[in-house]
Structure 1
């Protein structure tokens, strides 16, 4: 177009910018803004709105703020949607103070923040713990809706202020002529359940039913999860039965809660019965289901059955993760079956699954207990090479074993690595090293010569 001597218009630039933004070429679109003036085109509101929206949704927050400022300087008027784009991005980055300033600028320029503006700012304030400011903001909103109240209630719940959240439901919403919805109750029930306040959560569950609200899948699953985590399986099963009576079926998440709880409680046969029922109802098992079953079997020393489940999961298209391998490896190490454990480590690596700190610590501990201190030290060095941070526990186990094997220099190498990694040697670390020094001094024929040497090393 330029080669043929045809001058692009503002409309041309705007359409090209929109196309670039649609394919996430935001930087290229912004560079066109600088080219416009070279061709005698003055950017208009559409150009700025396009670039601000694209910058905001791609988290180029500082660019979006600069473009908004430039828009004002160029005499272009943004609309509420433009402000909202930037406010949403700023709040998403938890830069709530800047978002509040933008709302002030909206008001100064005669714009009325809409429900989206208020909702986003409320959410940002709540996420940063500024719930009282969020409540003050809600009071200023004309005709607030249920969504805004739900946002604030969720803010109180996130900050463990349950009584105020309930008061907002019982008093403020009613005085505003609003009625809570299923989401309002679910927010409160989820918050109470996560905190282990299951009696209060169940009371609220009964209250919502009395007020004509039908609990949904989220409500039931939340309560089941809460009861399972507390080990209250009878109560969880009662909730499941109530669901079934109302024609609702558990999803994978709900089944996983129950399967996991049964396995932790040693009721593995019941867990498998539930697992079979889950599959018969067309509910697909995932990695969490299989990990729970494998853990349950290893807990009661049914290693062959655990390995069968491990193999079956691959046939079902579920890929084992680090947790799967850690459960099996730890169980074999507990039985001192090091060969089987290391076979699983090889399988783990072949499948591209990385060893984590728990894997390495378990293996190092088992090797030390088996007297294979050199192998344990080699594994420790491999762990560091691969960027896996050691724990104080694994370091202490290794230091103790190295001292017993007379490899005091290696023990100090581990101590240095602890300090270098930011781990603080504890009383166990120092007691191990001091005990070894004292033992070596007193069994030595050169007691008088060695004592000052060892003391100097410690001082």
Structure 2
């Protein structure tokens, strides 16, 4: 329009931007407008605003507002309440009807503002007014539901499109909802919606397949995702680079590298250009399974196709080579990198350090500047850690001084490495000085640092100092973890302070720290070894029952007992003549994936013989052969000893012959038991009980 914004829009804009607190009321009616509020502006202002229209004709007009004019107003950056007021005012005008475009703009603004309930109410109003709704409106609402974290509402809206609003959803609507479900991790729902889409005859697109493949891969149904690739042609869809990249990435993640390589070949045949990330996935997978030659060839293939390897490509390759001990090859690759960065150099330096080649690591560190990069705190930490492991503490401290001289600030890890070495070497005073130096530079010990100190104190049996450090750690707001408590428990158990160890265990549970397999195995082992040595347990009257309680807690928390703990449990029960309990325990252990060894069976046979069940012990010996477990001299010593004790010397002699026949050499204990009992028999005529 020549004169610019229509009058109703101007009035509303003026109303919106006025800063005074009173309301600027709309004064339009269907029959006339009150234009004579003041004599000064009634003539000049209104005539100027309404030119070139005839003022009298406009006054006589029954309805001057149109959907087009209202639409222009709704598109302005006005607040929601103003827009709704304009919308409702227009609705009240005689002969006026809202169009789809008006509803679309207002509903879109409401939905994007998070007013989803109001948007749906307006949608319902449009249906009641008989407005023919189009798919684009529902897509807007569904997307807003997705952004608001309401995937279920998006699915409901998709269902209501046809049922309630008589709008047939196309692949666009399904793609939007599928994408929302995947982003919300509703993968099963996404797959179900996809098959429902096919059942309803809605043709999927390549994008549809890529979404569903991603969903299937997320729930580890990789084979189903791969099968969809073969089905795409039935629906007239051609796989693109994204489809192949999704599958290649997940195959590499599952170490199915050959299938990933086959997909790469298919991708190239289909004319889908792979990018550096696609190659990086496969190179990483090849390095992970130790196929370094194939990884190197793939890098060459990548270059030949005109794809420039990036920093990640070289980083993955260098890491793989160093991990497999191919340090010289890694150094050669590094020398060929056009612009190596500090991370790449650090990877090779770490490889040298792990191989004990500290001199070459230092040479590479010193020549980094020539390649356009500089050693950082990680470089120095790697070097200092290597020197400390080699016991070269003096050189490590010199390196600390060097990094400070070069304005490379040491961090908590730097000091923790040095403090740990100082503690191990017994330099407690120097370690304390290092801690003070660290605090003077504004750094504080973290959990790892405290754990190093506490662990070393416990190993040196300085439990009072370790407990004091634990209190200080808590006071400084540094939360102890399970490693902190395990150091204390292990140290106390090794020094036979079992009661104190259980006190620490109870304390960690009260603090909300979750015990792990190390905690349980340490306590179980200490309980049963102490019981085996016939020592009293002050805290618990029966160490075996307490150990079983710990085993049950361990099992319920999803941890597996160690082989030593299992054998000690079985042995502890058998020593108490609770052989059936030991067999029941073994059954539970088998369900957890535990594989009994010869020590387990020796404990069981000893327990059976202790109860006088010689026949059961011999039957168990026969079972060993069936399970492929080879008996040892301890097995036969147990059986021979118990047979001698009950005066079954012939059977004991037969067992000795059997042991010799299968290549087991009798030891000193074997001969002592036999000779002792034979002599007793010949002298006294009665067996030694």
Superposed pair shares fold, TM > 0.5: yes
Please name the residue that 1:342 is paired with.
544
Match of 1:351 among 540, 543, 553: 553
Larger Rg belongs to: 2
Residues 396, 429 of structure 1: 8 Å contact kept: no
My pick for the range that moved more, 118-127 or 391-400, is: 391-400
Q: Following TM superposition, by how much is the alpha carbon of 1:332 offset from its aligned partner in structure 2, in angstroms?
A: 4.0
Residues 328, 341 of structure 1: 8 Å contact kept: no
Residues 395, 415 of structure 1: 8 Å contact kept: no
Match of 1:386 among 585, 589, 592: 589
Distance in 1, matches of 2:402 and 2:535, equals 54
Distance in 1, matches of 2:283 and 2:628, equals 43
Indicate how the Cα distance of structure 1 residues 408 and 206 shifts in structure 2: closer, same or farther if over 3 A, else same. Answer: farther
Distance in 2, matches of 1:423 and 1:244, equals 59
Distance in 1, matches of 2:611 and 2:224, equals 64
Q: Following TM superposition, by how much is the alpha carbon of 1:325 offset from its aligned partner in structure 2, in angstroms?
A: 1.5
Please name the residue that 1:290 is paired with.
485
My pick for the range that moved more, 394-403 or 242-251, is: 394-403
Distance in 2, matches of 1:375 and 1:10, equals 66
Q: Following TM superposition, by how much is the alpha carbon of 1:76 offset from its aligned partner in structure 2, in angstroms?
A: 2.7
Q: Secondary structure at the match of 2:409?
A: coil
Residues 295, 327 of structure 1: 8 Å contact kept: no
Q: Following TM superposition, by how much is the alpha carbon of 1:434 offset from its aligned partner in structure 2, in angstroms?
A: 3.7
Match of 1:34 among 230, 240, 243: 230
Distance in 2, matches of 1:340 and 1:297, equals 19
Indicate how the Cα distance of structure 1 residues 26 and 143 shifts in structure 2: closer, same or farther if over 3 A, else same. Answer: same
Indicate how the Cα distance of structure 1 residues 185 and 202 shifts in structure 2: closer, same or farther if over 3 A, else same. Answer: same
Residues 571, 607 of structure 2: 8 Å contact kept: no
Q: Following TM superposition, by how much is the alpha carbon of 1:34 offset from its aligned partner in structure 2, in angstroms?
A: 0.6
My pick for the range that moved more, 176-185 or 329-338, is: 329-338
Please name the residue that 1:430 is paired with.
667
My pick for the range that moved more, 26-35 or 54-63, is: 54-63
Distance in 2, matches of 1:252 and 1:79, equals 42
1:329 paired to 2:527: yes
My pick for the range that moved more, 140-149 or 11-20, is: 11-20
Distance in 2, matches of 1:209 and 1:393, equals 55
Q: Following TM superposition, by how much is the alpha carbon of 1:47 offset from its aligned partner in structure 2, in angstroms?
A: 2.6
Which whole-Å deviations, capped at 9, do the CAs of 1:90-121 have from their partners, x for residues lacking one?
A: 22333322211211211222222221111111
Please name the residue that 1:181 is paired with.
376
Distance in 2, matches of 1:430 and 1:378, equals 32
Distance in 2, matches of 1:399 and 1:235, equals 54
Please name the residue that 1:134 is paired with.
330
Distance in 2, matches of 1:304 and 1:124, equals 47
Distance in 1, matches of 2:609 and 2:407, equals 69
My pick for the range that moved more, 110-119 or 339-348, is: 339-348
Which whole-Å deviations, capped at 9, do the CAs of 1:64-111 have from their partners, x for residues lacking one?
A: 111101112223321222111221222233332221121121122222
For structure 2, the 5+ residue unaligned runs are: 1-196, 635-663, 684-689
Indicate how the Cα distance of structure 1 residues 73 and 381 shifts in structure 2: closer, same or farther if over 3 A, else same. Answer: same
Residues 326, 358 of structure 1: 8 Å contact kept: no
Q: Secondary structure at the match of 2:478?
A: coil
Residues 169, 180 of structure 1: 8 Å contact kept: yes
Distance in 1, matches of 2:495 and 2:339, equals 60
Residues 459, 491 of structure 2: 8 Å contact kept: yes
Indicate how the Cα distance of structure 1 residues 310 and 84 shifts in structure 2: closer, same or farther if over 3 A, else same. Answer: closer
Q: Following TM superposition, by how much is the alpha carbon of 1:126 offset from its aligned partner in structure 2, in angstroms?
A: 0.7
RMSD: 3.8
- The 5 A counterparts of 1:24-423 are 24-170=220-366, 172-298=367-493, 302-320=497-515, 321-326=519-524, 328-329=526-527, 332-333=530-531, 336-337=535-536, 339-353=541-555, 355-362=561-568, 372=575, 374=577, 379=582, 382-383=585-586, 386-387=589-590, 388=594, 410=617, 417=624, 420-421=628-629
Indicate how the Cα distance of structure 1 residues 298 and 191 shifts in structure 2: closer, same or farther if over 3 A, else same. Answer: same
Distance in 2, matches of 1:81 and 1:140, equals 20
Q: Following TM superposition, by how much is the alpha carbon of 1:236 offset from its aligned partner in structure 2, in angstroms?
A: 2.8
Residues 399, 432 of structure 1: 8 Å contact kept: no
Distance in 1, matches of 2:548 and 2:318, equals 51
Residues 399, 415 of structure 1: 8 Å contact kept: no
Q: Secondary structure at the match of 1:284?
A: coil
Residues 528, 544 of structure 2: 8 Å contact kept: no
Alignment length (residue pairs): 442
Q: TM-score, normalised to structure 2's length?
A: 0.56
Residues 360, 380 of structure 1: 8 Å contact kept: no
Distance in 2, matches of 1:386 and 1:429, equals 32
Indicate how the Cα distance of structure 1 residues 140 and 298 shifts in structure 2: closer, same or farther if over 3 A, else same. Answer: closer
Distance in 2, matches of 1:209 and 1:240, equals 17
Larger RCO, structures 1/2 (Cα 8 Å, 6+ apart): 1
My pick for the range that moved more, 191-200 or 252-261, is: 191-200
Indicate how the Cα distance of structure 1 residues 364 and 228 shifts in structure 2: closer, same or farther if over 3 A, else same. Answer: farther
Distance in 2, matches of 1:395 and 1:378, equals 14
Which whole-Å deviations, capped at 9, do the CAs of 1:197-236 have from their partners, x for residues lacking one?
A: 4343333223222322211011112222333344443333
Distance in 2, matches of 1:392 and 1:24, equals 39
Distance in 2, matches of 1:179 and 1:275, equals 39
Distance in 2, matches of 1:85 and 1:180, equals 28
Residues 51, 64 of structure 1: 8 Å contact kept: yes
Distance in 2, matches of 1:246 and 1:311, equals 37
